[in-house]
């Protein structure tokens, strides 16, 4: 059995990576633990030799069916029915699980939200908790979800994404005619108040986004699909939409915008230079649509210096808005 709590935490995270089919190896997992320590101050980082000992303990003491995959250069589970029977949760860990369950239930539509509640209730039967959860009733999750998704539609899309089955759907877009498609739901994303299935569309032979609330009918097919590398890159970069990216952007903003752009940056490497009447904002790269919408939302308190093409596009938008709102 694990000799200390740090080893148990490492094992739990390693098994989770195996379950997620991330193919962890000693080098990648050591790096992951170091990054986790920097973000959460857990002090569980270690050497590759220690990870190797943890893997051996999982195999010898817990019977974990772990093998190394040469193609993916990482470890994997040869059997999905193996269970890691680790010690019970501590109070702070169970509370964290309760918070996560509360948030997830308010974001996921039925029937997944009910499944999450049942999973948490099961954990309560297996673990003792000295505190209470009454305060969670006062935690508001403002997801902005104001569209209705039929439970059978969401369940079909969700299971097809999970099990890697192709989907036959009838789709009604915001603009255009209703059509039938065969798709591979590569990514499931909650974005902009809606659930999106970013998919490879067999009909268009290209990547397409499908808002799940606009799917009128959905049928899982027997045909399986594989995750495509380009979609995995989108997950890592958080790129849901394939809009054109523009580089070397410079804005001049009023000082009233500073707090918002600092709290919610447009790019992790953006730079700010204070001016007498505001500040200059430089952005290495950003999606064109995101930049245009952000500048328009500032109601004149952000001005594009470069590129000139975006400056002209925003000016055209402003003239059209002015014409439509003139008395």
List the CATH number of the domain containing 274.
Answer: 3.30.70
pLDDT at position 208: 92
Quote the pLDDT of residue 152: 94
| 144 inside domain | no
Residue 117 sits in the same domain as residue 176: no
What average pLDDT does this structure show over 260-283?
94
The model's confidence at residue 109, banded by pLDDT at 50, 70 and 90, is confident
Quickly state the pLDDT bin for 88 (edges 50, 70, 90): low
168 forms beta bridges with 182, 219
CA distance 130 to 238: 39
Same domain for 191 and 233, yes or no, is yes
- C-alpha atoms less than 13 angstroms from C-alpha of 270 in its C-beta half-sphere: 21
What pLDDT was estimated at residue 172?
Answer: 96
Cα–Cα distance for residue pair 172/71, rounded to 1 Å: 41
CA distance 6 to 9: 5
Whether 3 has a pLDDT exceeding 60, the answer reads no
Give the integer Cα–Cα distance in Å for 138 and 127.
24
Question: What integer is the mean pLDDT of 99-118?
Answer: 85
Same domain, 231 and 260: no
**Residues in Cβ contact with 220 at an 8 Å cutoff, skipping those fewer than 6 apart:** 156, 159, 160, 163, 165, 166, 167
What's the pLDDT at 264? 92
Mark whether 14 and 72 lie in a shared domain.
yes
Q: What was the pLDDT predicted at 68?
A: 96
In this predicted structure, what is the pLDDT of residue 281?
97
For 173, left (φ over 0), alpha (ψ -120 to 50), or beta? Answer: beta
237, 254, 272 — which closes off a domain?
237
Q: What is the DSSP string of 102-154?
A: HHHHHHSPTTHHHHHHHHHHHHHHHS--SS--GGGGG--------S---HHHH
6, pLDDT greater than 90:
no
Mean pLDDT, the chain, rounded, equals 88
| More confident call, 294 vs 193 | 294
Does residue 233 share a domain with residue 159? yes
Number of domains present in the structure of the chain? 4
The yes-or-no verdict on residue 86 having pLDDT over 80 is no
Residue 277 belongs to a domain: yes
Q: What is the pLDDT of residue 100?
A: 86
Q: Quick one: pLDDT band at residue 123, thresholds 50, 70, 90?
A: confident
Residues of the chain with pLDDT > 70, as a percent, come to: 91
End of a domain among 237, 259, 283?
237
What H or E segment, with its residue span, contains residue 92? helix 91-107
Residues 230 and 249 both lie in one domain? no
Report pLDDT for 121: 80
Give the torsion sign (CA, 186, 192, 195, 196): negative
Q: Calculate mean pLDDT across residues 223-246.
A: 77
Domain that holds residue 117: 91-138
Interval 47-54 mean pLDDT: 94
86 falls within a domain: no
Candidate from 27-31, 117-121, 171-175 with smallest mean pLDDT: 117-121
Q: Is residue 84 part of a domain?
A: no
Structure confidence at residue 87 (pLDDT)? 63
Task: Kindly state the average pLDDT of the residues 41-45.
Answer: 81
Predicted pLDDT of residue 101: 87
H-run or E-run covering 188: strand 179-191
Q: Which residues contact 325 (CB under 8 A, 6 or more apart)?
A: none
Instruction: Write down which residue in 77, 101, 117 finishes a domain.
Output: 77
In CATH, what number is assigned to the domain containing residue 16?
1.10.10
CA-based end-to-end distance of the chain: 77
Q: H or E stretch including 316?
A: helix 308-325
Neighbours of 295 (CB within 10 A): 23
């Amino acid at each position: 059995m694990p000799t200390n709590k740090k080893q148990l935490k490492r094992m739990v995270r390693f098994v989770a990576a195996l379950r997620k089919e991330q193919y962890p190896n000693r080098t990648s997992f050591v790096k992951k633990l170091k990054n986790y320590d920097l973000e959460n101050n857990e002090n569980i980082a270690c050497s590759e030799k220690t990870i190797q000992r943890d893997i051996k303990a999982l195999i010898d003491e817990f019977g974990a069916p772990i093998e190394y995959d040469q193609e993916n250069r990482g470890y994997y589970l040869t059997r999905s029915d193996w269970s890691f029977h680790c010690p019970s949760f501590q109070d702070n860990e169970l509370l964290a699980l309760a918070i996560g369950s509360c948030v997830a239930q308010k974001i996921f539509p039925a029937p997944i939200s009910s499944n999450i509640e049942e999973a948490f209730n099961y954990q309560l039967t297996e673990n003792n908790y000295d505190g209470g959860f009454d305060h969670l009733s006062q935690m508001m999750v403002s997801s902005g979800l104001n569209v209705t998704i039929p439970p059978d539609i969401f369940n079909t899309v969700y299971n097809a994404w999970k099990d890697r089955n192709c989907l036959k759907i009838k789709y009604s877009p915001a603009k255009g005619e209703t059509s039938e498609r065969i798709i591979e739901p590569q990514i499931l994303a909650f974005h902009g108040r809606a659930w999106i299935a970013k998919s490879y569309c067999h009909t268009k032979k290209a990547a397409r986004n499908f808002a799940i609330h606009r799917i009128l009918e959905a049928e899982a097919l027997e045909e399986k699909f594989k995750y495509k590398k380009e979609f995995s890159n989108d997950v890592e970069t958080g790129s849901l939409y394939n809009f054109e990216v523009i580089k070397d952007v410079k804005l001049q903003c009023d000082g009233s915008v500073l707090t918002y752009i600092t709290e919610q940056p447009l790019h992790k490497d953006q730079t700010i230079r204070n001016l007498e009447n505001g500040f200059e904002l430089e952005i290495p790269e950003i999606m064109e649509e995101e930049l245009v919408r952000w500048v328009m939302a500032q109601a004149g308190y952000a001005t594009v210096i470069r590129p000139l093409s975006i400056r002209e596009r925003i000016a055209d938008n402003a003239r059209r808005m002015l014409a439509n709102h003139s008395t």
